[in-house]
A and B are shown apart, each in its own frame.
Chain A
């Protein structure tokens, strides 16, 4: 089987696995992880498409490959921002639950709701 098709199918399954984790795992950090799994699956799918565009002596289409580099860096910045939000939530409330019936919060952060 062609490497592009093989890794394209692999990417499809990785995205499915990530979507499952994103829905099922209640912990926000695990959701961020699952989101990164989905993201890397999308990158891999895009990379497989870039590989199919090989031509003119190049092993892959350089335009999607350049966009992939941009994508990976932007995904890191989004993850860093999400983690910072999560850690601030933890510092303020001592828990990180996303549940709507969370226990009452304490003290100075009542306006944060």
Chain B
């Protein structure tokens, strides 16, 4: 039964991947990609990665899909011109040969993986008690490989700065995205009013439960960011101008708190990002609470894109 499910999932995923590549309209391709992301979520469940499944559903399918849908709608007029640039059939055959070679080489590697597979699972479980965290993935993210998570938060911040720096000069410091003029009594406004409170509670729950069960700050922050975006799309709130100092303060607060705790570890526990004995769990909680608002704002603002409207009115 499980085999049938897995084979069916593989076939659907391959079909949707092909559709994403060959679909004529970019919009249709993006819709295929979103369905592909959601099916991939089921694959992660089959592969026993519930935390990864949550991240894939929230970010891989959800936020990336919303971002690409917006771009596809704006760039619709450019597709005809691009079609004229399609490479000749000779180079397409060459491309097909290259991609087949890549796929075959990877498949051979998959079949030749060593047996028994190397694993760090016993070491993680043996050392997890020190961190007092119940979810092994959270222990890896915030204790054993905390440096990765710190750098990831900084990468997100830098990417947002990169997006903002693409603003035209007249819009610098202004509000990102276009003004939404949905009717205050429309269906979208109703959905935003009814759904946002539920979504916020769900996001906070997934954030809080992450210490002991699948979940965590990235998944929770994505849900909160999605609710924020929904409220903005319904016209119930406007995006803040990017020159606001409270906004900028919140954006850097998470990574700065993380670096600060890391520096304390360098003095108190002998290594950057090491936690003093007995303080691991409280420090992990402080980092998570500091990162949460930063991540929510960064993810939401990244989806809104570069500032479009000047500071004036």
Question: Taking the nearest CB of chain A, how far is it from the CB of B236, in angstroms?
Answer: 24
**A6, A17, A41: the one within 8 Å of B7 (CB):** A6
Q: Which of B30-56 contact A (CB under 8 A)?
A: 30, 33, 36-37, 40, 43-44, 46-49, 51-52, 55-56
B94-102, B188-196, B237-245 - the one binding chain A? B94-102
B121 close to chain A: CB less than 8 A: yes
- Size of interface on B: residues with Cβ below 8 Å to A: 95
Residues of A within 8 A of B155 (CB): 74, 77
Contact between B124 and A62, CB atoms less than 8 A apart? yes
- A62-B137, A77-B155 known; A12-B103 Cβ under 8 A: yes
Closest CB-CB distance, A85 to chain B, in whole Å?
6
Q: Verify B136–A62 contact, CB threshold 8 A.
A: yes
Q: Are B21 and A97 in contact (CB under 8 A)?
A: no
B17 within 8 A of A: yes
Chain A interface size, as a band, is 35 or more
Q: Which candidate, B68-76, B256-264, B267-275, B279-287, is the interface stretch facing chain A?
A: B68-76
Closest Cβ–Cβ distance, residue A29 to chain B (whole Å): 5
- Asked whether A80 and B67 contact (CB < 8 A) given A44-B43, A61-B121, A63-B145, the answer is yes
Contact: A81 with B95, CB < 8 Å?
A: no
Cβ–Cβ contact A63 & B64, under 8 A: no
A101 to chain B, nearest CB (A): 10
Q: Do A56 and B125 have beta carbons less than 8 Å apart?
A: yes
Which residues of B sit under 8 angstroms from A37, Cβ to Cβ? 17, 20-21, 33, 36
Q: Are B17 and A96 in contact (CB under 8 A)?
A: no
A105 at interface, CB cutoff 8 A: no
Q: Point out the residues of chain A lying under 8 angstroms from B46, CB to CB.
A: 3, 7
Closest to A77 in B: B159
A53 x B99 contact (CB < 8 A): no
CA distance A8 to B106 in the complex (A): 9
Q: Is the CB of B59 within 8 A of A20?
A: no
Which residues of chain A come closer than 8 Å to B139, judged between CB atoms?
Answer: 62
Is B14 positioned at the interface, with any CB of A under 8 Å from its CB?
yes
| Known contacts A21-B20, A90-B75, A62 near B120 by CB under 8 Å | yes
A30 to B306, CA, bound (A): 21
Closest to B68 in A: A33
B109-117, B197-205, B246-254 - interface stretch? B109-117
Q: Is the CB of A24 within 8 A of B49?
A: no
Write the B1-13 contact mask toward A (1 if CB under 8 angstroms, else 0).
0110011001001
Q: Does B92 contact A (CB under 8 A)?
A: yes
A45: B residues at CB distance < 8 A: 106, 110
A23: chain B residues within 8 A (beta carbon): 87, 95, 98-99
* Extra contacts besides A17-B99, A33-B33, A97-B85 (20): CB < 8 Å: A1-B3, A7-B6, A12-B110, A13-B103, A17-B14, A23-B87, A23-B95, A30-B21, A40-B37, A40-B40, A53-B120, A65-B52, A69-B55, A73-B152, A73-B218, A74-B152, A74-B156, A79-B67, A80-B159, A88-B166
Q: Provide 21 A-B residue pairs closer than 8 Å at the C-beta atoms, listed in order of the A residue.
A: A13-B17, A14-B17, A16-B103, A17-B14, A20-B96, A20-B98, A24-B21, A26-B87, A29-B71, A32-B68, A53-B119, A54-B121, A56-B122, A56-B125, A61-B121, A73-B59, A73-B156, A74-B156, A76-B63, A78-B159, A99-B85
